[in-house]
Every structure is written in C-alpha cells, then in structure tokens.
C-alpha cells in the first residue's frame, strides 16, 4: 500500500438520516430533507451542535464552520453540506495519489472556498437555492 495514499470518504445521505434518527431515537423515515431541526425535531442549539460533532466524527473530511452551524436549519441543508465536503475530500485524495503538489493546490483552493463561504454566509457554500 502506498504510504502517501489517503482514505477515500464515501457519501450516503441515508447514513446521515440514520445518524440523526439514532441520535434522536426516532424512525429514520421521519428524517426527510424538509424536516426542520428546531421546529420539527425540537433540537435546541446545543443538541444540534452535538449532532454535528457526531457527523464530523463519522465523516472525517467534514468540518462545520461557525457560519455553517448557524445556517443549517433543515436536514436537506445538512446533507448538501456534508455531500460537498465529501466530494472535496475525494478530489483531494485522488489528487494526492497522483501528484502531491496538485493536492496542495486543491487544498489551498478548498481553504479559500471555506473562507469565502464564511465571509459570504453558508448559502454560498450550499448553493444559491439555499
């Protein structure tokens, strides 16, 4: 095995729904994209933060900025955010295996994107429809 290889991270929206359901002790079928964390699932800000920490632990490439934590209100927002971060992680892993310099460039680009998202609000990172 190549010592430079980094693990690939797969994305599965149902895995996120299952994590949410397990955390709340509810049926995963109740966790749809339109479900609001505060209004429908009755999560306060500390509960939501704890849930996001669990997701960060499960998906190693995902880190939630302060802006993201404030802007993620429904399950669909969370799924899109994790999906984007997983895709960036996969791109980084593939680039690193090919040429470490490309990975460094991609990482710098990702950091700049995150900085822009923090400055402009998480809607930029999630897309214009969010």
What confidence score (pLDDT) does residue 41 get? 95
Q: Please give the model's pTM, rounded to 2 decimal places.
A: 0.64
Residue 48 to residue 69: CA distance in whole angstroms:
8
Residue 113 to residue 110: CA distance in whole angstroms:
5
What confidence score (pLDDT) does residue 111 get? 66
Residue 113, pLDDT above cutoff 60? yes
pLDDT tens digits, residue range 81-95?
Answer: 888 887 776 665 555
Residue 120, pLDDT above cutoff 90? no
- Give the residues across from 36 on adjacent strands: 74
User: What CATH number should be reported for the domain whose range is 13-126?
Assistant: 1.10.1200.10
pLDDT tens digits, residue range 8-35?
Answer: 346 789 999 999 999 999 999 999 999 9
What confidence score (pLDDT) does residue 37 get? 96
**Residue 47 catalytic?**
no
Delimit the domains of the chain by residue range: 13-126
Three-state DSSP class for 10? coil
Residue 28 to residue 5: CA distance in whole angstroms:
34
Of 2, 40, 44, 47, the catalytic one is 44
Residue 5, pLDDT above cutoff 60? no
């Amino acid at each position: 095995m190549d010592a430079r290889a980094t693990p690939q991270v797969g994305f599965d929206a149902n895995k996120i729904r299952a994590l949410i359901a397990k955390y709340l002790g509810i049926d995963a079928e109740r966790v749809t994209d339109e479900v609001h964390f505060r209004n429908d699932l009755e999560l306060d800000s500390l509960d939501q933060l704890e849930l996001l920490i669990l997701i960060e632990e499960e998906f190693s490439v995902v880190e939630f900025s302060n802006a993201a934590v404030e802007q993620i209100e429904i399950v669909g927002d969370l799924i899109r955010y994790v999906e984007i971060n997983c895709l960036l992680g996969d791109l980084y892993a593939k680039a690193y295996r090919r040429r470490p310099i490309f990975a460094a460039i991609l990482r710098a680009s990702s950091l700049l994107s995150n900085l822009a998202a923090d400055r402009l609000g998480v809607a930029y990172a999630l897309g214009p429809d969010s």
